Chains A and B, each alone.
Chain A
Amino acid sequence: MTTSPAPQAPRFPAPGHAAPAHAPAEVHAHHGPQSFWTRYVFSTDHKTIAKQYLFTAAFMSIFAVGWSMLIRLQLAYPHNTWPILSSLFPGLYQDGVLLPERYLSLTTMHGTVMVFFVISLALVSGFGNFIIPLQVGAHDMAYPFLNALSYWTIVPACLLMMVSFFVPDGAASAGWTAYPPLSALAEAGSGLGQTIWLLAMAPFIASFTMGGLNFVATILNMRTRGMSLMRMPLTIWTLFYASVLGILTFPALTAAAIMLLLDRLGGTSFFLPAGLIVSGQVLPHQGGTPLLFQHLFWFLGHPEVYVLALPAIGIAFDVLAAFGRRPSFGYRNTVWSILAVSALGMIAWGHHMFTSGMNPYLGEYFSIVTVLITLPFSVIAINLVASLWRAEIRLHTPMLFALGLIAAIGVGGLGGLWLGTATSDMYLQDSYFVVGHFHFMIGVVTGFGIFAGTYYWFPKMFGRMMNETLGRVHFWLTTLGTFAAFMGMHFLGMGGYLRRIYDPTTYRYAQHQPLNVFISYALLLAALGQVLFAVNLFWSLFRGKRAGANPWDATTLEWTTESPAGHNNWETLPTVSRGPYEYRTDNAPAGFHPQGEVEAAG
């Protein structure tokens, strides 16, 4: 932890431009904050905020994984009773039987919390905050105060989500997509929990937007000398596009949530058609259309998939280069392909709605655009695989997870072809094929990205290495468990099993209950693997081997500062004279050229 003041560097010193008048006042002598509260709790240091995000996401993931275990228990043994669960969770179980409404709450909250409060928080907000200033060569984010504000906005959102389990009628149960009319009508069974769900999404969106503004401004404005756009590591590129997508698409969810809230509480009919009959009573609503909500939701919902998946892919590119000891294959192609994927991803949302009753010609358009995404995405996938061509692989834990990520993209991506094509999706819509597919793409791919990033940057975060043996066991348990389970779900879906069904033995035409049991045990195995991860994390925090500044012999900028990185990242910002992945160059004495160097202080 350095406490010496850094050189007084105005942020925008270029002559001839209107520099901000407040710039000189804003440049503090960068002392590390001294008190416990300013240093660890209300810190504006991007690394502290990143750790806060990561630990918050880890905390929320305990609940989200726990709920999935209850779901799998119900799906494997729908007719058993579990008296012990009745006493543990009296709101969910009655006489040892899971209440059907609460089963829907569990699936809803598992999806919501995993997508918005675990993966978004860890992968985008967590790693984004940690790695953007370190990899572009900045002392901190562009707006450090806004950064702290965005973290402290997420905390009430998390608390609200958790509280909704304890209100009358339980947590939201209309699915993570919250389709009206179900989500709009208290008469239809969506109670206070659904209102709280909507109110919790508001601070989440506000926080994520503030974070996105910060990321974009930092990446574009705060790069160090010589860090041109085409020298940025791919993690930065993917986080940049993820932020831009979030800025462009989250407002659609905001608008939809406001209108849904007014439909619930204000008596309006934005999404409610005429003639709704609930419990024999005709409701007074008229003129609205639930399809409007679906369009607005998926205008966010589909790009959100890329918001989650792209940073994981970016981390994989960094890790593959560092542990394959060769430059990332096709860097420029990858950069442009990520742009193409993001742009096409914004106009393809309708493939979530093929069976919703929208115009079939519109569906054909969405089909074509969706399948078009295959082209740039294949370039990305091929570049991931080709980054292994003639690689001298060092098979450490981050590399294992990066390799697993490639496998998951292969399986998940091929499944996407069937779902993006309207003709085959008509059959597969809402089946376990979909569940298996999206768990590969935004469960395994993103999860492996998080794990690869954690094992890779842990030394930079805490100055210690994580345990390799535990890491390997964690990798294999996670891989075997998730691949077996989610591949199994594809088969269930082709057999006709639909998602969100309380009792899978009700199907007379499909009797694959043993496969359901197998999937449940596979996921239990994967969940147990995460216990090892937690043990490894806390053990390594205190007992891990001390790490040097650059334990992986990696080239990117974050490895030029000490581990853990000090308050100001560098006393003197490094200068960049090379691309991000110059491994195995002939004239490099250490076998690689670091991207930056710390100049002698002057």
Chain B
Amino acid sequence: MIASARTLSPDARQPVPSPVGGPYPMGLMALLTTVGMLFAAFTAALLVRRTGGDWTPVRLPRVVVFSTTCIVLSSIAVEVARAWLRRGMLADSVNWLAGSGLLGMLFLGGQVVAWRHLALRGVFLPSSPHAAFFYMLSATHAAHIVGGLGAIAWTLNRLRRGAYSPERHAGFTHAAVFWHFVGAVWLYLLILLIAF
């Protein structure tokens, strides 16, 4: 049976990407969408809950400045690592990616210190709705940071074993996109928690 030329490309044995989706990482896009919807749902809850009459803002511990700086620097480091890889400098790329992972862990450490500071001030989960949202949102976000660190560790391992080349490193890019995304989510949450 002969198919029309319009639907066949020269090498008929291989599945060519379809017009929609194609080489774009739809799985990653869907993941970012669903994580985004989770924090959108929390945002809706916060906007409703703050009208409850007992909403008294809690001063956030100063250590969040440190952790926020760490997560921003970490995203920059990932991009530097990608830039080195594109120039073929594998060793530099490995170092910068490892540094980025380290900064991510420092961010997590900073969050733990923030929770300790609040607890020392006598601000616990049930103390006020604003405190409850701070604990809950930062913990839920930290869980996603742990996932992102897993992606970075995975990428680092593959990078060191030479699985990525300057031209072909989509897995690296996907991990970087996820890492930037969870970093941006933290900035958003911080603004949300400070604004209200």
Contacts and interface: CB of A to CB of B under 8 A. Distances in A.
Contact of B171 (A10, A20, A226): A20
Interface of A is mostly: loop
Interface stretch (B18-26, B72-80, B179-187): B18-26
Contact of B126 (A214, A254, A268, A572): A268
Nearest to B48: A292
B31 A213 contact: yes
A220 B41 contact: no
B117 interface: no
Given A14-B17, A269-B126, A573-B15, A22 B158 contact: yes
Interface in B4-34: 4, 7-9, 12-27, 30-31, 33-34
A159 B137 CA distance: 29
Interface of B is mostly: loop
B8 A256 contact: no
Contact of B17 (A18, A221, A226): A221
A13 B45 CA distance: 45
A19 B15 contact: no
Given A18-B173, A255-B41, A262-B132, A250 B26 contact: no
A14 B13 contact: no
Contacts of A137: 15
B23 A17 contact: yes
A45 to B, nearest CB: 18
Nearest to A296: B41
B49 to A, nearest CB: 6
Interface in B30-60: 30-31, 33-35, 37-38, 40-42, 44-45, 48-49, 52-55
Which of B42, B164, B165, B172 has the largest number of chain A CB atoms within 10 A?
A: B42
Given A17-B22, A18-B23, A251-B41, A577 B129 contact: no
B119 interface: no
Contacts of B55: 287
Interface residues of A, number: 68
A299 interface: yes
Given A250-B34, A270-B129, A221 B136 contact: no
B120 interface: no
Contact of A262 (B52, B125, B172): B125
Contacts of A220: 18, 20-21, 26
B19 A577 contact: no
A575 B8 contact: yes
A17 B173 CA distance: 13
Contacts of A131: none
Nearest to A291: B48
Contacts of B41: 251-252, 254-256, 296, 299
Nearest to A292: B48
A292 B49 contact: yes
Interface residues of B, number: 57
Which of B12, B45, B136 has the largest number of chain A CB atoms within 10 A?
A: B45
Nearest to A250: B34
A267 B52 CA distance: 16
A553 interface: no
A80 to B, nearest CB: 46
A216 B30 CA distance: 8
A137 B15 CA distance: 9
A143 B26 CA distance: 11
B13 A602 contact: yes
Contacts of A225: 7-9, 12, 14-16
B126 A221 contact: no
A143 B125 CA distance: 38
A212 B29 CA distance: 12
Contacts of A292: 45, 48-49
A203 to B, nearest CB: 14
A123 interface: no
A423 interface: no
Interface string A93-111: 0000000000000000000
Given A19-B170, A250-B34, A270-B129, 4 more contacts: A14-B22, A17-B23, A247-B34, A251-B40
Interface of A: 7, 9-14, 17-23, 25, 137-138, 142-143, 209, 212-214, 216-217, 220-229, 247-252, 254-256, 258-259, 262, 266-270, 286-289, 292, 295-296, 299, 572-573, 575-577, 597, 599, 602
